[in-house]
């Protein structure tokens, strides 16, 4: 049986479909950007910067205009992507704190475990932010388990939390590399000593000032959320993160080039603190945020070069996505607001990170598999949560009934197979189990704000909470920016969507 190696790059949503023949067993690489908006790359309309490598993926593959992630913040989207289940159904699925225990428990079916069962080598490189360790949290100086290796990954090289949270160390499989036993690592929620330097007490020493919230322990001239001490030999420099992710990803691909592999490339670009490598600083007019987008594009190009060098490109399915939409000021004074100019990070959409407006969850989404996917554009509704069911179909694996409860098989749409389409509805959420939802069905979109307010992030300015009615209804065909609430004009549509959303939440699953 002939084996095809494929690279998949995930951007923000998936499509429905008839899968390829069982003889196809591609390598899969999911490239997930962090905080990348619909309008942040040139193939989706950006004019103030260029992203040639991402653009090439789009030109050689399938570019989705209705590609989504399922949540507008990182932890719930990553949880949903890996487990195929909406994060609002889980426990502790909001933005994970530095000492969070493992959120996805051993025994949970994941994209990685599905492909591992199918004979794939599996690895994750980059940002994790899904917790590590048992119920008491990570043992930073010992074995960090459970973690990725207990839910289907053979190996991992991680940023354990997210880089605006401590600690600034890597995790390789179950341990922090290069730790000196004489300088143990400690991570906590309270100041470890009265004289511990922070972004408040030593603000004049910072090379990047904070605007809100990010004012605890200082590392590399930048103050973070949370406190830590020790582990100095294990600490990294922010500027080197992208290079390390490319290095470790290339090592994984080279090691497994002669067998099917699944690589989850989990970039930290464009998340704060935005400190791209010096060679990218100043390459755009948009400040460090724009420079970080160019750095991300470089990462994509380096992975594609590796595929070409190893002659894997034509045997590779590639999927590119983002974990949520954009935000400009997310806690640091990095010039993103002042230098935005004509750039519109969310493209034509309202909102951004933290919100259920389209800008929060509709993002770039591209699939490429040379010789298999016919280049073009698709308007199919697809979502990252469908990766589990779609890749199960690709690898000829069955899903247990109690697993991947909201993941649909949209493989045919991802591959551009004739006669296939995307999912017919999608639930979006803001963060964790906060009670803010949106349901898109066709061109209709219902907002449900149980908290009586909306995190209506206008990406050109700071975050803002706006009081809204519990329910709002928008017609995306006429009003893609969700400016006009038409619920009073279409009460029957609103009632139908209210009932459908309530049933999806109550049923505990949407996959039949």
Task: Identify the CA nearest to 292 among candidates 307, 304, 305, 277.
Answer: 277
What was the pLDDT predicted at 451? Answer: 76
Task: Identify the CA nearest to 154 among candidates 181, 199, 191, 117.
Answer: 117
Which tokens belong to 402?
């109690």
CA-atom Rg of the chain in angstroms: 21
What was the pLDDT predicted at 13? Answer: 37
Bridge partners for 474 per DSSP: 445
Phi then psi for 414, rounded to 5 degrees? -60, -35
Residue 168 CA to residue 511 CA, distance in Å, equals 39
pLDDT digits (tens, 9 = 90+) for 448-469: 998 766 666 555 555 667 788 8
Which tokens belong to 457?
């992030």
Which tokens belong to 149?
């290796």
pLDDT digits (tens, 9 = 90+) for 82-129: 999 999 999 999 999 999 999 999 999 999 999 999 999 999 999 999
Quote the distance between the C-alpha of residue 510 and its chain's center. Answer: 22
* pTM of the entire predicted model: 0.94
Give kind and range of the element (H or E) at residue 28: strand 27-33
Residue 45 CA to residue 35 CA, distance in Å, equals 17
pLDDT digits (tens, 9 = 90+) for 130-153: 999 999 999 999 999 999 999 999
pLDDT digits (tens, 9 = 90+) for 187-234: 999 999 999 999 999 999 999 999 999 999 999 999 999 999 999 999
Work out the number of other CB atoms within 10 angstroms of the CB of residue 417: 17
Among 335-344, 422-431, 440-449, 464-473, which stretch is predicted with the lowest mean pLDDT? 464-473
Which tokens belong to 69?
């992630």
Task: Identify the CA nearest to 320 among candidates 283, 363, 366, 356.
Answer: 366
Task: Give the CB-side neighbour count of residue 400, counting CA atoms within 13 A.
Answer: 12
Give kind and range of the element (H or E) at residue 33: strand 27-33
Contact 13, 364 (CB under 8 A): no
**What structural domains and CATH numbers belong to the chain?**
10-88+100-132+155-161+242-415 (3.40.720.10), 425-507 (3.30.1120.10)
Query: Which 8-state DSSP code applies to residue 423?
Result: -
Residue 501 CA to residue 507 CA, distance in Å, equals 10
């Amino acid at each position: 049986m002939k084996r095809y190696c494929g690279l998949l790059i995930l951007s923000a949503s998936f499509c429905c479909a008839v899968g390829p023949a069982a003889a196809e067993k591609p390598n899969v690489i999911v490239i997930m950007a962090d905080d990348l908006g619909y309008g942040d790359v040139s193939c989706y309309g950006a004019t103030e910067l260029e992203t040639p490598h991402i653009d090439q993926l789009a030109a050689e593959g399938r570019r989705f205009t209705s590609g989504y992630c399922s949540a507008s913040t990182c932890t719930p989207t990553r949880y949903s992507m890996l487990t195929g289940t909406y994060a609002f159904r889980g426990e502790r699925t909001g933005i994970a704190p530095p000492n969070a225990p493992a959120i996805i428990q051993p025994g949970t079916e994941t994209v990685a475990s599905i492909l591992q069962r199918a004979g794939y080598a599996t690895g994750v490189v980059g940002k994790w932010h899904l917790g590590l360790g048992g119920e008491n949290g990570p043992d930073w100086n010992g074995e960090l388990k459970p973690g990725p290796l207990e839910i289907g990954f053979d190996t991992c090289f991680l940023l354990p939390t997210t880089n605006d949270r401590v600690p600034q160390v890597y995790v390789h499989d179950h341990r922090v590399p290069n730790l000196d036993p004489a300088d143990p690592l400690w991570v906590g929620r309270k100041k470890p000593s009265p004289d511990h330097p922070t972004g408040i007490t030593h603000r004049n020493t910072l090379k990047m000032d904070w605007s809100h919230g990010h004012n605890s322990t200082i590392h590399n001239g930048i103050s973070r959320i949370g406190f830590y001490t020790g582990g100095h030999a294990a600490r990294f420099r922010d500027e080197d993160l992208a290079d390390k992710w490319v290095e470790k990803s290339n090592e994984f691909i080279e090691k497994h080039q002669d067998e099917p592999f699944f690589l989850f490339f989990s970039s930290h670009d464009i998340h704060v603190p935005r400190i791209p490598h010096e060679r990218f600083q100043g390459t755009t007019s948009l400040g460090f945020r724009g420079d970080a987008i160019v750095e991300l594009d470089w990462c994509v190009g380096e992975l594609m070069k590796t595929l070409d060098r190893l002659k894997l490109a034509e045997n590779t399915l590639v999927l590119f996505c983002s974990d949520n939409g954009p935000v400009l000021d997310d806690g640091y004074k990095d010039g993103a607001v002042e230098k935005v100019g004509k750039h519109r990070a969310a493209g034509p959409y309202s909102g951004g990170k933290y919100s259920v407006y389209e800008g929060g969850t509709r993002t770039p989404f591209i699939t490429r598999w040379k010789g298999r996917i016919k280049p073009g554009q698709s308007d199919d509704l697809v979502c990252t949560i469908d990766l589990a069911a779609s890749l199960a179909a690709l690898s000829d694996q069955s899903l247990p009934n109690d697993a991947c409860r909201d993941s649909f098989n949209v493989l045919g749409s991802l591959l551009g197979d004739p006669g296939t389409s995307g999912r017919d509805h999608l639930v979006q959420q803001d963060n964790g189990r906060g009670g803010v939802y949106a349901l898109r069905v066709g061109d209709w979109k219902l907002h449900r704000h149980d908290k009586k307010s909306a995190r209506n992030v206008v990406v050109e300015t700071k975050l803002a909470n706006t009081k809204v009615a519990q329910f709002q209804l928008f017609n995306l065909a006429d009003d893609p920016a969700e400016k006009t609430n038409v619920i009073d004009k279409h009460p029957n549509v609103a009632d139908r969507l209210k009932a459908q959303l309530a049933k999806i939440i109550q049923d505990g699953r949407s996959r039949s």
